[in-house]
Chains A and B, each alone.
Chain A
Amino acid sequence: KQEVTQIPAALSVPEGENLVLNCSFTDSAIYNLQWFRQDPGKGLTSLLLIQSSQREQTSGRLNASLDKSSGRSTLYIAASQPGDSATYLCAVETAGTALIFGKGTTLSVSS
C-alpha cells in the first residue's frame, strides 16, 4: 500500500530565504508525482508535475526533483516571499489508484 510522508510538518522562515520541502513514498512504481499548494479556505492548485521518467521540473522560483528509486522528492523554493505562505502537499499517482497525498508542510514566510 502506497504511503506518502512529508517532512517537516511546519516551517517558518524569514523572507528571502531559500528552503526545501521533503516528500517520501513507499512504492517506487509511480506514474508521476505532483506538488500542490493549498491556501486556507481554498482548493488545491497544482504547482509542478514530474513524470516517472523525469528527474526534475522547474517553474519560476520553484524546482521539484524526483528520485524514484529512493522514493524521494524535494520542492525547492528560492528567495521565499510572504505570498508563499501556504500548505504544500505532495501526491503520487500509482497504477490503478487515484492520487495518494501526504499530510502536507505548512509554510510561513515572515516579512
Chain B
Amino acid sequence: EAGVAQSPRYKIIEKRQSVAFWCNPISGHATLYWYQQILGQGPKLLIQFQNNGVVDDSQLPKDRFSAERLKGVDSTLKIQPAKLEDSAVYLCASSLGFRLAGADTQYFGPGTRLTVL
C-alpha cells in the first residue's frame, strides 16, 4: 500500500516570496491533516479536512496561509508571503475518517522542509 506522498521534500525561499506544498494521501482516506513542526517542537495542527470540507483551521494563520483539497483527494498548502518564522517542516497526514478499534490512526508523509532566508 502506497503511503502519504509529499513534494517537494526541501524548499529554500527568500522572505516575502510565495511557496506551495503538495500532498497526496493514502487512497480511500477521507481525512487529511497539515501540521507545522518547528525545530525542537512537536507537530502542530494547521488544518484538518474531511473529504473536501474544513473541519478545523483554528491554528492556521489565515492572513498568509491557505489550503485547499480539491475533489477530496490531493491537497495544497500555500504561504504568501513567507516570513522567517515559517521555517519548519510541513507534515501531511491522512486517516480513514472514522474510528476503527477505538482510533482513527493517522499516517504521516515524509514532510517538506522549508527554509526562509
Give the segment of A39-47, A68-76, A77-85 that binds chain B: A39-47
B25 at the interface (CB under 8 A from A): no
- From A43, A98, A103, give the contact of B4 (CB < 8 A): A43
B105 at the interface (CB under 8 A from A): yes
CB distance from A86 to the nearest CB of B (A): 14
Q: Is the CB of A103 within 8 A of B42?
A: yes
- From B56, B101, B109, B113, give the contact of A98 (CB < 8 A): B56
Give the number of A-B contacts (CB < 8 Å). Answer: 51
The proximity string for B residues 52-81 relative to A, scoring 1 for CB distances below 8 Å and 0 otherwise, is 000010000000000000000000000000
Chain A residues, CB < 8 A from B44: 101
Q: Is the CB of A89 within 8 A of B42?
A: yes
Q: Quick one: which of B21-72 are within 8 Å of A by CB?
A: 33, 40-45, 48, 56
Q: Is the CB of B110 within 8 A of A41?
A: yes
CB distance from B95 to the nearest CB of A (A): 10
Q: Is the CB of A91 within 8 A of B42?
A: yes
B106 at the interface (CB under 8 A from A): yes
Q: Is the CB of B40 within 8 A of A103?
A: yes
Q: Is the CB of A51 within 8 A of B103?
A: yes
30 pairs, CB–CB < 8 Å, chain A vs chain B: A31-B102, A34-B103, A42-B111, A43-B91, A43-B108, A43-B110, A44-B43, A44-B108, A46-B105, A46-B106, A49-B103, A49-B105, A51-B102, A51-B103, A89-B42, A89-B43, A91-B42, A97-B56, A98-B33, A98-B45, A98-B56, A99-B43, A99-B106, A101-B42, A101-B43, A101-B44, A102-B42, A103-B41, A103-B42, A104-B42
Other than the given A31-B103, A44-B43, 14 more pairs (CB < 8 A) read A4-B42, A31-B102, A34-B103, A41-B110, A43-B108, A43-B109, A43-B110, A43-B111, A44-B93, A45-B108, A89-B43, A98-B45, A98-B48, A101-B42
A: residues with CB less than 8 A from B are 4, 31-32, 34, 41-46, 49, 51, 53, 89, 91, 93, 97-99, 101-104
